[in-house]
Copies of this chain bind each other. A is one copy, B any other.
Amino acid sequence: MALRDPDKTRLKLLSIAANLFQKKGYNGTSLSDIINEAEVSKGALYHHFANKNELLYSVIDELYRERFLSPWRDVIKSQDPIQAIENVLHNIGKNADVKEMCNGCPVHNVLAELGATDEGVRLRINQMHCDAQKIICDALEISKDRNIINKDVDSNKVSLFFMCGINGMPQLVTSCQNVEVFQQLTDALADYIRSFKMVD
């Protein structure tokens, strides 16, 4: 129903779709699932989104992308970017929503399901990975300049592996349904990144 508030209706659809796609997968989620939970008619949905695929793209562009990148954006503004990265890891490890985590990372799930067949999805998520890696890579370079880490660290390789770690976590958490595992993993990744610091 929702007496005439297009933006609100759109956002509602978007966020409900985001949740369902994460939990049940893209192909596992029917538009009926979405409109039922949103208490909105099919006409409303198709007024806002051309089709299911466009809805997914909007979800990725407007929700998943921000959720994925925002935690990292500030690390390069810090005096000690390495410390900042550790802090971010610590925070997401501590504040992880159990239910959310156990459904895996939405970005990750969508990529695993559709990456091989839907170029639109793949390119969007690749962009996210690149953007995030760029931030980490910059953080490493800055840290070299400031003599926080060794100059012979291969920033590209390390930042790539960092992204790999980030991507692997939700997988393990989903499979064992245990959030503690997530904290161990963020710890371990923090250890990894800290291992490049200069010994003083």
A residues adjacent to B (C-beta < 8 A): 22-28, 102-104, 108-109, 111-117, 122, 125-126, 129-130, 157-158, 160-161, 163-169, 171-172, 174-177, 181, 184-185, 187-189, 192, 195
On whether A165 and B165 interact (CB within 8 A), knowing A28-B113, A157-B187, A192-B192, the answer reads yes
Residue of B nearest to A185 (CB): B164
A interface: dominant SS: helix
Specify which of B26, B28, B164 is in contact with A168 (CB 8 Å cutoff).
B164
Residue of B nearest to A189 (CB): B161
Asked if residues A175 and B25 are in contact (CB atoms below 8 Å), the reply is no
Bound CA span A149–B182, Å? 25
Asked if residues B122 and A104 are in contact (CB atoms below 8 Å), the reply is no
